[in-house]
């Protein structure tokens, strides 16, 4: 894929990560998933090479880059067939939120470990009855002396079993208005009252999904990102908790786009290789326009989606949160659509072979749908664009 819009440093990073991914590849990930394990070797090597923390501040052990660099890492690992989904959660969402809004103590406690891969953090926002409506979040936190008490439920939370803590989105009462406002809490995995149950998924992925229960989970005051109510609402402003939330959600959308692009590229590469060599009549099947044109179209769509992802990452890393929010949603939408079509066309190109375990494409059909559904559905993105960008009336 073209890299003409990237700096020499970005191109070097892309090439280096591609080489790492090639050493592991799809066979490695398939073996790990089949054994019910986690890609610990790849995670450790990516961390050792500085890739996991490339977006985190240098003063806390990171690479000093941004989401642009981190998205390159995830995309190239995905294109090699071995994406690390926890990159979306641990360094991109949680690392970004703590780096931007955490206290000095929180930064020192978490960022070096997130950067070197020795610690991971999950992210808990989705609830059974809230879905995409964050205003319906019912996980609440109340003050009890110097502590916080959390109660609530979360669903479809990735990697809680391997994470040292979960960054949980809850709501607290603003003493000045009596209204509930979002706040983010760092909940250790072994906190009393913090339970989890595995959600069985028909999805071939190393990262397991969980339902979480918070039953009178008692946390110290410094578990609140920012360190206290005045910080949570931003030096007197009421909405800093919301700023923290979206500071994590925009990178999540950009990284989901990178995940989808890598998957789409992997599937397309397998299909192109097959179409070049598979011969049924006189010429390889790739010579026939009915085969070649859909693959070319898939390539074009992936390229276009990548351009929007690069724009979103650039805006976010430049500190333009409002513009980055729009672009991140568009990038996630475009990449999800391009990924689904690329995977579908790849499977179709291989015919019956596309459904065999030998070629390893059929499992991507389900995985590609994730890019359309999570972390926000394409319909909600269309709602966002129609309302926020086009100024059309809001229907929800």
Query: For residue 4, what are its two tokens?
Result: 């003409």
In a domain, 395, yes or no: no
Q: Are residues 368 and 299 both part of a single domain?
A: yes
Extract the tokens encoding 314.
């650039």
The average confidence (pLDDT) of the chain is: 92
Do residues 234 and 246 both lie within one domain? no
Question: What CA dihedral angle connects 32, 33, 35 and 41, to 10 degrees?
Answer: 20
Q: Hey, what's the torsion of the CAs at 214, 218, 221, 225, to 10 degrees?
A: -20
178 inside domain? yes
Residue 238 has pLDDT above 80, yes or no: no
Q: Is residue 182 part of a domain?
A: yes
pLDDT tier at 242, thresholds 50, 70, 90 = confident
Residues 249 and 361 in one domain: yes
CA 277 to chain centre: 35
Q: What are the structure tokens assigned to 129, written together?
A: 């009855």
Does some domain include residue 295? yes
Query: Are residue 354 and residue 247 in the same domain, yes or no?
Result: yes
Domain boundary among 187, 215, 238: 238
Q: Structurally, how many domains does the chain consist of?
A: 3
Tokens of 352: 């019956």
Range of the structural domain that residue 65 is part of: 8-119
Question: pLDDT band at residue 233, thresholds of 50, 70 and 90?
Answer: very low
For residue 319, count CB atoms less than 10 angstroms from its CB and return exposed for 0-12, middle for 13-18, buried for 19 or more.
Answer: exposed
Rounded distance between C-alpha atoms, residue 210 and residue 319, angstroms:
33
Alpha helices for the chain (secondary structure H)? 8-34, 40-48, 67-79, 86-87, 96-101, 104-116, 229-232, 240-277, 289-317, 321-350, 362-373, 378-384
The pTM (predicted TM-score) of the whole model is: 0.93
pLDDT of 176 reads 60
Model pLDDT for residues 312-368, shown as the tens digit of each residue: 999 999 999 999 999 999 999 999 999 999 999 999 999 999 999 999 999 999 999
Is 60 domain-assigned?
yes
């Amino acid at each position: 894929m073209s890299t003409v819009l990237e700096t020499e440093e970005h191109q070097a990073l892309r090439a280096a990560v591609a080489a790492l991914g090639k050493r592991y590849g799809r066979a490695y990930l398939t073996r790990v998933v089949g054994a019910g394990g986690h890609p610990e070797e790849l995670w450790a090597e990516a961390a050792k090479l500085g890739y996991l923390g490339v977006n985190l501040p240098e003063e806390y052990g990171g690479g000093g880059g941004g989401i642009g660099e981190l998205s390159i890492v995830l995309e190239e690992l995905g294109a090699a067939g071995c994406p690390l989904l926890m990159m979306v959660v641990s360094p991109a969402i949680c690392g970004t939120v703590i780096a931007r809004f955490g206290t000095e103590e929180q930064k020192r406690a978490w960022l070096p470990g997130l950067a070197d891969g020795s610690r991971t953090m999950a992210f808990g926002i989705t609830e059974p009855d809230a879905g995409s409506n964050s205003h319906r979040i019912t996980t609440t936190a109340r003050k009890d002396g110097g502590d916080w008490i959390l109660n609530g439920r979360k669903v479809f939370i990735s990697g809680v079993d391997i994470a040292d803590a979960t960054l949980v989105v809850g709501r607290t009462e603003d003493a000045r208005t009596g209204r509930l406002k979002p706040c983010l809490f760092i909940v250790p995995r072994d906190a009393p009252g913090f339970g989890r149950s595995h959600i069985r998924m028909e999805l071939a992925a190393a990262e397991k999904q969980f339902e979480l229960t918070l039953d009178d989970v008692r946390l110290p005051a410094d578990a609140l990102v920012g360190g206290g109510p005045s910080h949570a609402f931003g030096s007197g402003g009421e909405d800093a908790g919301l700023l923290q939330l979206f500071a994590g959600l925009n990178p999540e959308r950009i990284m989901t786009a990178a995940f989808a692009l890598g998957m789409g590229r992997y599937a397309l590469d397998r299909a192109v290789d097959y179409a070049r060599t598979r011969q049924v009549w006189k010429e390889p099947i790739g010579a026939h326009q009915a085969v070649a044109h859909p693959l070319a179209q898939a390539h074009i769509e992936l390229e276009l989606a990548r351009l929007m992802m690069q724009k979103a990452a650039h805006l976010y890393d430049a500190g333009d949160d409002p513009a980055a929010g729009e672009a991140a949603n568009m990038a996630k939408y475009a990449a999800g659509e391009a990924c689904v079509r690329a995977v579908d066309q790849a499977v179709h190109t291989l015919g019956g072979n596309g459904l065999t375990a030998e070629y390893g494409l059929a499992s991507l059909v389900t995985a590609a749908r994730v890019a359309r559904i999570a972390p926000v559905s394409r319909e909600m993105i269309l709602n966002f664009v129609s309302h926020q960008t086009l100024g059309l009336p809001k229907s929800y």
